[in-house]
Amino acid sequence: MTEKLPLIPYPSGAIAMLNGTYMHPSSLVVALDPVFDTEHVLHYVKEYLGVEAEKGERSPNLTIAKAIDLKDEEAYRLELQPCGCRIEAQDLKGIFYAVQTLRQLFLAYPHAIPCCRIQDAPALHWRAFMLDVARSFCPVEEIRRIIDILASCKINVLHLHVSDDQGWRIALDCFPNLGEEESGRYSKQEIRDLVAYAQDRQIMVVPEIDMPGHFTAALAAYPKLSCTGGPFTVPKGEGIFPDILCVGKDEALAFVKTVITEIASLFPAPYIHLGGDEIPLDRWVACPDCQKRKKALLLSDEKALLRWFCNEMTMHAASLGKQVILYNDYLDQDYNKNIITQVWNPLLDASLSEHPAIMSDYFHTYLDMDHTLLPLQVVYRYGKQLQTEKDANLFGAELMLWTEYICTRAERDLHLFPRLIAGAESFWTHQGQHDYRRFVDIFGRYGEQFLPPETHITPRKQWNSCFIISVLQRYKRRRRVKRNSKKAGIALS
């Protein structure tokens, strides 16, 4: 007997429905394998299931055992019987995700849960969400709320875009003029606390410091790091701006290396994102310092100079134990092979690259676009598309929220929900278990229960637009991407 349990993401493995029901307990006695940390496990059970819990071997109604046959650290087995519940996992991560699944069953079935056996593991191991806090500052408490939602739908990476032309959001000791208190900036302690909060929910926070382009906010504070010397004002809205870091000046290179070092000390993740997208190189062409550097290094053109700069920063990051991620705008075979490329531009052929790839295609993952440009069903099928292609270089996938015109919690929510949840399922659930109609049905019935109170959800009638309107809007947007890419000197396929 099979039944569609109300779960998001839907389990990747087998679901077996068993006889009887599991009654909600008022408290749990947990029999725990000693290899697992008691404090963490009891914390998960109390926080997410909303019941008191204590460790005990006599008459346990929740047993948590190590499963040596599960090779994936995020995999788990969950079994509910009338007499109690059993979780099997290889790692604490698997226990955490089992508890998330159990939480949804508790919410969907307020009194008695149908007995069942679930086996589950993720399809993709990098399941990320990018939050742009540079264009529009996002308060710490709001980021915590977003982290809670990401954890509940088994997203395991928060990519935090903390610098751009329009803002610099982390206060650093090395260069205190970066960012402004009045426009929003995180202290180092706030960052440490956010990272710890995310880690407790099995989410890795990866910072992005965009360079050498999208750098106006830094140049406004330190104009001597530019090719022209400024002055600069921090712009509003979107755009590709001409002034970038001057890589011909030794002090500019020392500046970014010092910044990378301090940022790396705040984020324990083994990755750091350095942007590397949409970089107009005209200033370097006219800059005596950049031309002197190019000549001294025997480089053929400004793109070769950009490649040299990115490889230099990659080696510096590696000395700090960090692997660099760059957008795929300019990446070629001469870039350091350890760089992970993030593929966003739909006009570039990513299949030619030998670098590990995080897929975040513009027309499948950019949640800042409205639903006429990015319907719910398009987001949902992206994970299946990636799994079907079976690209050996696939590192993972990522959903994106740029915030040039998204400033409030309500605006963020309406762009995110339910598309963020759909994307999360498409990344976690193996392609054989993908079912768009099932997802729409479950979210329609239980979405509000699964999300925090007062979450704004886009009305169902807007989830998918008229096909013809969508095609026309996407055609116009593709032309815009092509125009901006040419402006930034990106060689299109």
- pLDDT single digits (tens) 205-249: 999 999 999 999 999 999 999 999 999 999 998 999 999 999 999
Whether residue 359 has pLDDT greater than 90:
yes
Distance CA 266, CA 258 (A): 13
Q: Which two tokens stand for residue 194?
A: 């956010």
The dihedral sign for the CA sequence 476, 481, 487, 490: negative
**In 299-311, which positions are buried (b, 16+ CB within 10 angstroms) versus exposed (e)?**
eeebbebbbbbbb
- pLDDT single digits (tens) 174-185: 999 999 889 999
Task: Give the gyration radius of the chain's Cα atoms.
Answer: 24
Whether residue 311 has pLDDT greater than 60:
yes
For residues 438-453, average pLDDT: 98
For residues 22-43, average pLDDT: 95
In this predicted structure, what is the pLDDT of residue 288? Answer: 98
- Measured in degrees and rounded to the nearest 5, phi and psi for residue 160 equal -105, 110
Catalytic option among 74, 278, 398, 425: 278
- Which one, of 350, 349, 348, lies nearest residue 340 by Cα? 350
In this predicted structure, what is the pLDDT of residue 493? Answer: 62
Higher per-residue pLDDT: 13 or 1: 13
pTM value surpassing 0.85: yes
Residue at 233: amino acid letter: T
- pLDDT single digits (tens) 447-474: 999 999 999 999 999 999 877 888 888 8
In this predicted structure, what is the pLDDT of residue 3? Answer: 67
Distance CA 433, CA 234 (A): 47
Per-domain boundaries in the chain:
15-120, 127-457
For residues 335-349, average pLDDT: 94
Distance CA 10, CA 450 (A): 13
- pLDDT single digits (tens) 394-434: 999 999 999 999 999 999 999 999 999 999 999 999 999 99
Whether residue 350 has pLDDT greater than 80:
no
Quick check: do 15-120 and 127-457 share a fold? Answer: no
Distance CA 92, CA 36 (A): 7
**């979780």: which residue's tokens?**
87
What 3-state DSSP class applies to 248? coil
- pLDDT single digits (tens) 244-290: 999 999 999 999 999 999 999 999 999 999 999 999 999 999 999 99
In this predicted structure, what is the pLDDT of residue 467? Answer: 78
- pLDDT single digits (tens) 362-396: 999 999 999 999 999 999 999 999 999 988 899 99
**């399941």: which residue's tokens?**
127
In this predicted structure, what is the pLDDT of residue 1? Answer: 41
Fold of 15-120: Chitobiase; domain 2 (3.30.379)
Mean residue pLDDT of the chain comes to 95
CATH ID of 127-457, from 3.20.20.80, 1.10.150.130, 1.10.150.20, 3.40.190.80: 3.20.20.80
Residue at 374: amino acid letter: L
What 3-state DSSP class applies to 164? strand
Whether 404 sits among the annotated catalytic residues: the reply is no
